[in-house]
A and B are shown apart, each in its own frame.
Chain A
Amino acid sequence: MLEIKNLHAGVDGKQILKGINLVIQAGEVHAVMGPNGSGKSTLAQVLAGRDGYSISTGEVLYDGKDLLEMDPEERAREGVFLAFQYPVEIPGVNSTYFLKAALNEIRKSKGLPELDAIEFLTLVKEKMKLLDLSEDLLKRPVNEGFSGGEKKRNEIFQMAVLEPKLAILDETDSGLDIDALRIVSGGVNKLKRPDNAQLLITHYQRLLNYIVPDYVHVLYDGRIVRSGSRELALELEEKGYDWLIKEAA
């Protein structure tokens, strides 16, 4: 589904990703871990299509298509979803209105009929249960005044509604208390299907107790220095990153 080949990317003249190679197949869950500043969020942003990054070499194929050529909205319509590390508050844009517009854009691009207000609300009600979100939140502007945990849950709720093929979760676990973590990861697990894939970016092995990855990758200084099974995450928790960094050097 996703094939990242020798990806080099930087911003403002600073090289951040220095040759990422990663292949994700449908039905898989991958976790990317790594110390602060190693480039995890940059990878997520580059995949989602944020402006301002320069890609010096490498390519990213998504279902065989050149992902980096696409506008962010095209990527989303093709099924790429980024759960933001810091979801922005958008005052004045109603949550329901926004999400309905997003879903209908995606449906349109797939040649599906748009949902009307009633069909949409039925769908929303069903998905809200999954994340145990209060309906009041949807009456408010996008993320405005949401608590940190609510923002993260709202990201996964959007994911549930939009049903992406490739979901990239950027530190969705940080800032969540233990109950919220359970709810969010429960939601993510329910969204897992044989025809979609998830890429989790996290600092904490604790998330991986709830969402069990098929593969764990360690990003260090813009490169994946080690890949393994979920045991690798446990090992990292125990020993930290230093041993790997020394080995990689």
Chain B
Amino acid sequence: MDSNLDIMIQAPQTRETPAANPYLASFERFEQNRLAAPAWVFPIRKAGMARFAELGFPTPHDEDWRFTNVAPIVKLPFKPVSEYSRDGITAQGVQQFTFAGLKAHRLVFINGHFSEELSAILPISNGAKITSLARALNSDSARIEKHLANYASGEDNAFAALNTAFFLDGAFLFLPANTVLEDPVHLLFISTASEPGAASHPRNLFIAEKGSSMTVLETHVSTVENSYVTNAVTELVVGEGAVIEHCKFQDESSQAFHIATIHAQIGRNANFTSHSIVTGARLARDNIRTSLAGEGIDCVLNGLYLTKGDQLADHHMIVEHAKPHCNSHEYFNGILDGRSRGVFHGRILVQPEAQKTDAKQTNKNLLLSDSATIDTKPQLEIYADDVKCTHGATIGQLNEESIFYLRARGIGLDTARRMLIHAFAGEIIDRVKCRAAREELDQLIWQRLEQNPQIAEKH
């Protein structure tokens, strides 16, 4: 493969001189070396590049990034890992990763490259597609062209713009009308890059036509403790009456940077559930945006972040109600230890047409250490008059009343604390509908909590 791919990307020096942006040059070199892709892809990449050049990396002056300073990311060289290598990962080795032992259609990506040899698709019904996006760009070009970068274009999101310019591959899932996928699809993203600053830009596109249903599990892991960057974008098109559950488990290296943008475009009477479980990365930012573009939609955004040390876990949601009679519920719980930080920013936008909207939002945080902090910010913008919107946030320690109640029934103090912390995480995990995934997460989160000496101590 051409060594030109091994390029250095520098952050724009100032926003005022995007023309001098060194990204642009590297982008041109990058694009010339791309594998064959349909002609329509290039303008999209180019627009992404241009938009990124305009926006630049966000700074704490941006309202949406007030609590999350990406300066450490900006300093990184952003080196794409130019070639696919299995890097010692065996089919058996893959199984150690979360969800990888479950019966599922599995697509494995190593440093952003699709690993055909480690992937395996179970038999599927006619017309459904579970494959790599790079391949699908050739086989399903017309279908992809209709959607790619239509939702997460990066218009107001520099990282999504950067992904659009530089993505190599990701998952492409397509369900024709009324297709029910029995087994979940598991997307496994593994980072093995030993060089600091290696970057990958996974790009996923899921299209679920009318009346179809599936569960997508997504795992982000690494085999190295390293300051690499994952900058993922996932676009979902959820057709009328479709039922989609997306469960993302982010367990990157504690040195890594993880930025993920999820944009779901949801049609009438559809049911969309997104779970974001965060345990990894030094800095993690999940932008989750859902557009409720038809009536009768049920949308649940559910999340859990477990942080310690110097970790930062940031969730930034935008739920846009465009049509009447839709429900959206956001539930995010955080358990924070050490000097770690959590950020929850939940924006709910109710358009004038969206009467009878029922939008709920809760963010609850358990601080296990005095130095852990959380910034939680609801933002309700309501332009319709007959709506129900509620939000609530709590920050605190374990509930003394609950501890006493358990103790008064004979349960020891230590066990009572553990039960309550487990329960706090369990509130979120319990919403995972895919049973096998739920059970695995429950056990895993419990193990992580048990490893934490703070739990047993008095708070």
Which residues of chain A have a CB within 8 Å of any CB of chain B? 48-51, 71-73, 75-77, 81-82, 84, 87-88, 90-93, 98-99, 101-103, 105-106, 109, 141-142, 158, 162
Interface stretch, picked from B262-270, B346-354, B375-383, B416-424, is B416-424
Instruction: For residue B390, give the distance in angstroms from its CB to the closest CB of chain A.
Output: 16
B401, closest chain A residue (CB): A88
A162 to B411, CA, bound (A): 12
Instruction: For residue B83, give the distance in angstroms from its CB to the closest CB of chain A.
Output: 46
A88/B399 in contact, CB under 8 A: yes
Which residues of chain B have a CB within 8 Å of any CB of chain A? 399-402, 404-413, 415-416, 419-420, 422-427, 430
* Main DSSP-derived SS at the B contact region: helix
With a cutoff of 8 Å between Cβ atoms, the chain B residues found around residue A92 in the complex are: 420, 422-427, 430
Instruction: For residue A46, give the distance in angstroms from its CB to the closest CB of chain B.
Output: 12
A106/B410 in contact, CB under 8 A: yes
Beyond A76-B410, A92-B426, list 15 extra A-B contacts (CB 8 Å): A49-B407, A72-B408, A73-B413, A76-B407, A76-B409, A88-B399, A90-B420, A92-B430, A98-B411, A98-B419, A102-B406, A102-B411, A109-B410, A142-B405, A158-B409
A48 to B409, CA, bound (A): 10
With a cutoff of 8 Å between Cβ atoms, the chain B residues found around residue A77 in the complex are: 410
Instruction: For residue B202, give the distance in angstroms from its CB to the closest CB of chain A.
Output: 32
A141/B423 in contact, CB under 8 A: yes
B419, closest chain A residue (CB): A93
Given A88-B401, A91-B423, A92-B430, A105-B411 contact (CB < 8 Å): yes
A72 to B416, CA, bound (A): 12
B424/A76 in contact, CB under 8 A: no
Of B401, B404, B424, B427, the residue contacting A72 (CB under 8 A) is B404
B423/A48 in contact, CB under 8 A: no
With a cutoff of 8 Å between Cβ atoms, the chain A residues found around residue B407 in the complex are: 49, 71-73, 76
A128 to B412, CA, bound (A): 25
Interface centre among A77, A84, A98, A162 (most CB of B within 10 A): A98
Of B412, B424, B425, the residue contacting A105 (CB under 8 A) is B412
Given A71-B413, A90-B423, A92-B424, A98-B406 contact (CB < 8 Å): yes
A162/B405 in contact, CB under 8 A: no
A76/B402 in contact, CB under 8 A: no
A80, closest chain B residue (CB): B408
A147 to B215, CA, bound (A): 35
A48/B410 in contact, CB under 8 A: no
A98 to B402, CA, bound (A): 12
A162/B410 in contact, CB under 8 A: yes
3 A-B pairs with the lowest CB-CB distances in the bound complex, closest first: A92-B423, A76-B410, A102-B409
B409/A93 in contact, CB under 8 A: no
B409, closest chain A residue (CB): A102
A216 to B344, CA, bound (A): 55
A48/B408 in contact, CB under 8 A: yes
B415/A76 in contact, CB under 8 A: no
Of A49, A82, A101, the residue contacting B411 (CB under 8 A) is A101
B405, closest chain A residue (CB): A88
A236 to B289, CA, bound (A): 63
With a cutoff of 8 Å between Cβ atoms, the chain B residues found around residue A93 in the complex are: 406, 419-420, 423, 426
Give me 8 A-to-B residue pairs in the complex whose CB atoms sit less than 8 angstroms apart, sorted by A's number: A73-B408, A73-B411, A75-B408, A88-B401, A91-B423, A101-B411, A141-B423, A158-B409
A86, closest chain B residue (CB): B401
B407, closest chain A residue (CB): A72
A51 to B402, CA, bound (A): 13
A102 to B427, CA, bound (A): 21
Given A101-B415, A141-B423, A50-B406 contact (CB < 8 Å): no
Given A91-B427, A102-B410, A50-B404 contact (CB < 8 Å): yes
Instruction: For residue A158, give the distance in angstroms from its CB to the closest CB of chain B.
Output: 7
A158, closest chain B residue (CB): B409
Of A82, A90, A109, the residue contacting B408 (CB under 8 A) is A82
A102 to B425, CA, bound (A): 21
With a cutoff of 8 Å between Cβ atoms, the chain A residues found around residue B419 in the complex are: 93, 98, 101
Instruction: For residue B170, give the distance in angstroms from its CB to the closest CB of chain A.
Output: 34
With a cutoff of 8 Å between Cβ atoms, the chain A residues found around residue B399 in the complex are: 88
Of B402, B425, B427, B430, the residue contacting A88 (CB under 8 A) is B402
Instruction: For residue B226, give the distance in angstroms from its CB to the closest CB of chain A.
Output: 35
Instruction: For residue A201, give the distance in angstroms from its CB to the closest CB of chain B.
Output: 15
With a cutoff of 8 Å between Cβ atoms, the chain B residues found around residue A50 in the complex are: 404
Instruction: For residue B397, give the distance in angstroms from its CB to the closest CB of chain A.
Output: 14
With a cutoff of 8 Å between Cβ atoms, the chain B residues found around residue A102 in the complex are: 406, 409-411
A81 to B408, CA, bound (A): 7
A92 to B413, CA, bound (A): 18
With a cutoff of 8 Å between Cβ atoms, the chain B residues found around residue A48 in the complex are: 408
Instruction: For residue B414, give the distance in angstroms from its CB to the closest CB of chain A.
Output: 10
A90 to B423, CA, bound (A): 8
With a cutoff of 8 Å between Cβ atoms, the chain B residues found around residue A109 in the complex are: 410
A51/B411 in contact, CB under 8 A: no
Instruction: For residue A138, give the distance in angstroms from its CB to the closest CB of chain B.
Output: 15
Given A92-B422, A92-B426, A101-B415, A87-B405 contact (CB < 8 Å): yes
Instruction: For residue A187, give the distance in angstroms from its CB to the closest CB of chain B.
Output: 17
